Amino acid sequence: MRPDEISFVPLGKSGEWDLERILREHEKGIAYAWVLEGLDRYPVILDSRNRVLSFPPIINGELTRVTENTKDIFVDCTGWDLRAVSLAVNIVCSQMVSRGGTVESVKVIYPDEMRSIDPGLVTGSWPRMEWKEVSLDMDWTRSWLGRNLSGDEMINALSRMGYEDCRTDDGRLTCLVPPWRNDILHQADLAEDVAIGHGFHRFTGTVSRANTTGGERRYTTISRYIRESFVGLGFIETRTISLSNEREQFELMGRKEVPHMRIENPITTDHTMLRLSAIPSLLSLLRTNKHRDLPQRIFEIADIMVEDASRSTVCALSEDNRASFTEVKGYVQRLLRDLGVDFIPEKADLGWYIRGRGAAIMVELPEGVKDREKGPFPELEGGKMIPLGHFGEIHPRVISDYDLVTPVSALEMDMDLLLELTRI
């Protein structure tokens, strides 16, 4: 329907709204309006009396509100992909049955004039709880799992995983896959379910024939020390993705653009490059959690990209009314003292810190190291000493651009250089 052709009472509201107003003013409409962008007609589900049940995928109507007294529920599922929609309906219905409900099918009639999809694929009874027949090579499965399982053992394992009508014939095992399982694409998926159903605890290990001695990587050892230090300071470890965009890495940080690795044909404007710094990622995380209590202290051993080389940094942010240069300097001193690293703080004018409240962490080049790869802090290069990192108070402009209102202090250090300097 056209946006101005119909009105209804959205879920949680008291008066009638037309579709355009819902997209413009309703919190769900604002969040999901992009799904209908460019369309001149919007999907609406009506009952036999032309009352609006739902405006998918935006909001349901007050008419279909579900309460603790509701006995009958009408399940509708809409989308662009018929296969995905069919799977979603099967999963929802299966979950309802497992909780003691009864599912009844409905007849769907898809108009012939709607040619976005073949009407014959849609018209008929739904949900279609169709079991798919699959098979696997039993010898291949035994080789792949490293265990000589019999046909009966494989059948019992798959039966525990929800498969039905399992049978063996001429070295192959055939069975029916439940309609809510969409992840069975290859016989390797079946073999995995055989292993799960049989029980991983029943697979025994073997002693390696190679007579070597293993040990913990130095990177892992130092990372563990760093984690323990930050946890002792009241920080929580996070993991963020290494993709970012030029606006967050340069514009919002007040940083001059430097050569970086761009993403060809990015699927979203949020992920157009590989990040040079983890500070924007952690600031975004603070923005997402700004409804949480303060103080918030987070850290990450993050992957970044310096031109065409992958590197790691240690990054930490503290959001607190008392966040200051002195506070973050104390964190740096504590961490580097635990790692046995001597450093000299030097004044640094970096765009994301308040002027006069940012510092570079300078160290001497380790003995025996004449040449070193370019580090992640080009703004601090050029002196007699080399930059291990920086710390300071985030500028109020940057804080405001990330929709934050509380002071934030930050630090970031070159993990790769730290490995060379650490004396533990």
pLDDT, tens only, 244-298: 998 989 998 888 888 888 888 888 888 889 999 999 999 999 999 888 888 999 9
Contact at 8 Å (CB) between 179 and 93? no
Q: What is the mean pLDDT of residues 394-402?
A: 93
Is the pLDDT confidence value at 422 over 90? Answer: no
Sign of the CA dihedral running 321, 323, 326, 331: positive
pLDDT tens string 329-376? 999 999 999 888 889 999 888 889 999 999 999 988 766 655 566 777
**Which of 102, 126, 150 corresponds to the end of one domain?**
126
**Same-domain pairing of 106 and 136:** no
* DSSP structure string for 41-74: S---EE-TT--EEEETTTEEBGGG---TT-----
Q: Phi and psi of 319, rounded to 5°? A: -105, 115
What pLDDT score was predicted for residue 371? 59
- Asked whether residue 212 is assigned to any structural domain, the reply reads no
In angstroms, the CA 305 to CA 261 distance is: 7
CATH number of the domain within which 115 lies: 3.50.40.10
Cα–Cα separations (whole angstroms), residue 292 to 238, 289, 319, 349: 15, 6, 11, 32
pLDDT tens string 101-142? 888 888 887 765 555 555 556 777 788 888 889 999 999 999
**Which of 201, 228, 253 corresponds to the end of one domain?**
201
**Same-domain pairing of 289 and 176:** no
pLDDT tens string 158-188? 999 989 899 988 889 999 998 888 888 888 9
**Which of 72, 107, 126 corresponds to the end of one domain?**
126
**Same-domain pairing of 281 and 402:** yes
- Asked whether residue 206 is assigned to any structural domain, the reply reads no
CATH number of the domain within which 176 lies: 3.30.56.10
**Same-domain pairing of 182 and 282:** no
Task: Kindly tell me the burial class for residue 264, based on how many C-beta atoms sit within 10 Å of its own C-beta (0-12, 13-18, 19 or more).
Answer: exposed
- Asked whether residue 52 is assigned to any structural domain, the reply reads yes
Q: Phi and psi of 125, rounded to 5°? A: -85, 140
Range of the domain at 140: 132-201
Name the percent of the chain lying above pLDDT 70. 95
> Residue 14 has what DSSP assignment?
S
**Same-domain pairing of 111 and 46:** yes
Q: What is the mean pLDDT of residues 408-417?
A: 92
What pLDDT score was predicted for residue 268? 82
Written as six digits, the tokens of 331 are: 């964190």
**Same-domain pairing of 252 and 192:** no
Task: Kindly tell me the burial class for residue 423, based on how many C-beta atoms sit within 10 Å of its own C-beta (0-12, 13-18, 19 or more).
Answer: exposed
- Asked whether residue 1 is assigned to any structural domain, the reply reads no
In angstroms, the CA 263 to CA 159 distance is: 45
Give the residue among 192, 188, 209 at the shortest CA–CA distance from 200.
192
What is the number of structural domains in the chain?
3
**Same-domain pairing of 300 and 193:** no
Contact at 8 Å (CB) between 407 and 324? yes
What pLDDT score was predicted for residue 372? 63
**Same-domain pairing of 303 and 276:** yes
CATH number of the domain within which 245 lies: 3.30.930.10
- Asked whether residue 365 is assigned to any structural domain, the reply reads yes
**Same-domain pairing of 121 and 46:** yes
**Same-domain pairing of 161 and 306:** no
Cα–Cα separations (whole angstroms), residue 159 to 22, 163, 353, 389: 48, 5, 61, 56
**Same-domain pairing of 337 and 228:** yes
**Same-domain pairing of 410 and 333:** yes
- Asked whether residue 336 is assigned to any structural domain, the reply reads yes
Amino acid at 130: E
Q: What is the mean pLDDT of residues 32-45?
A: 85
Largest CA distance in the chain: 84
